[in-house]
């Protein structure tokens, strides 16, 4: 007799339910806007960088041009015989002659410290080229950069006993309309030689400035009695366009 532990059990295979894949979602608009903002910032930074490079290149070109003009002037001055009049020599410049002037010596007419020094402007080494001279002043003919300079030969045969407060002021002044502006100044003591009543010295000022057409430039000296003129090469005043 067959023994059965019970009726045979049915075997069922249950497959796992497959989860449906999530649908594709587009990139959010906020992320797209952020990406566009980053791109715009990068473009703006690139534009500013290009502008900065262009500005630097323009400045370098301008400085190189000014330097070449100054070198040409220096070579011109070195080639000129000191005993000859300083005039323009063809071939020394790479363009037309620039406005320039060189006046020498002085004539003390007014001893006040603010009055302009008077100069010799048409004899010896003095000359004027496209720059006029009037009552001690050089008149700027047109807008531009100018190198301005002045040198005074100084001396005193009898120094005062109290030399603590003996200070002179040598300056180049620009007159625009009715306003005077100090452009260059040398302030220093004189009679500072110990154990001697005789003093000798000099003062030189020079620099490049932007001038407008019609502006005047002149030299003033607080202690005019110190000036000792010893030829055209020791006391002078001038300017030239660069």
The values of phi and psi at residue 149, to 5°, are: -150, 160
Average pLDDT over residues 22-37: 61
Q: What is the pTM for the complete model shown?
A: 0.60
The pLDDT value given to residue 154: 93
Most confident option among 86-90, 107-111, 210-214: 210-214
Residue 86 binned pLDDT confidence (cut-offs 50, 70, 90): very low
> What is the rounded distance in angstroms from the CA atom of residue 86 to the CA atom of residue 92?
13
Closest by CA position to 67, among listed 131, 150, 128, 147: 147
- 110-119, 124-133, 138-147, 172-181: least confident range: 110-119
CB within 8 Å of 81: residues ≥ 6 apart: none
Of the two residues 102 and 193, the one the predictor is more confident about is 102
Of the two residues 112 and 77, the one the predictor is more confident about is 112
Residue 95 reports pLDDT greater than 70:
no
Residues 69-83: tens digit of each pLDDT: 666 555 544 444 443
> What is the rounded distance in angstroms from the CA atom of residue 221 to the CA atom of residue 171?
7
The pLDDT value given to residue 36: 74
């Amino acid at each position: 007799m067959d023994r059965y532990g019970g009726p045979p059990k049915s075997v069922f295979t249950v497959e796992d339910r497959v989860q449906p894949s999530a649908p594709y979602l587009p990139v959010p608009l906020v992320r797209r806007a952020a990406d566009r903002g980053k791109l715009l910032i990068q473009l703006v930074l690139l534009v500013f960088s290009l502008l900065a490079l262009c500005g630097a290149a323009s400045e370098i070109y301008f400085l190189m041009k000014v330097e070449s003009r100054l070198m040409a002037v220096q070579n011109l001055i070195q080639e000129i015989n000191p005993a000859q009049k300083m005039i323009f020599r063809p071939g020394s410049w790479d363009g037309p002659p620039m406005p320039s002037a060189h006046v020498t010596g002085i004539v003390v007419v007014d001893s006040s410290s603010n009055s302009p020094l008077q100069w010799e402007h048409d004899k010896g080494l003095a000359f004027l080229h496209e720059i006029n001279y009037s009552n001690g002043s050089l008149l700027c003919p047109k807008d531009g950069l100018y190198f301005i300079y002045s040198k005074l030969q100084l001396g005193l045969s009898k120094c005062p006993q109290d030399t603590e407060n003996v200070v002179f002021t040598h300056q180049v002044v620009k007159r625009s309309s009715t306003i005077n502006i100090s452009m260059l100044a040398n302030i220093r003591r004189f009679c500072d030689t110990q154990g001697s009543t005789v003093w000798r010295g000099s003062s030189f000022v020079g620099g490049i400035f932007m001038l407008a057409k019609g502006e005047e430039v002149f030299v003033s000296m607080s202690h005019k009695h110190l000036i000792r003129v010893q030829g055209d090469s020791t006391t002078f005043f001038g300017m030239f366009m660069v």
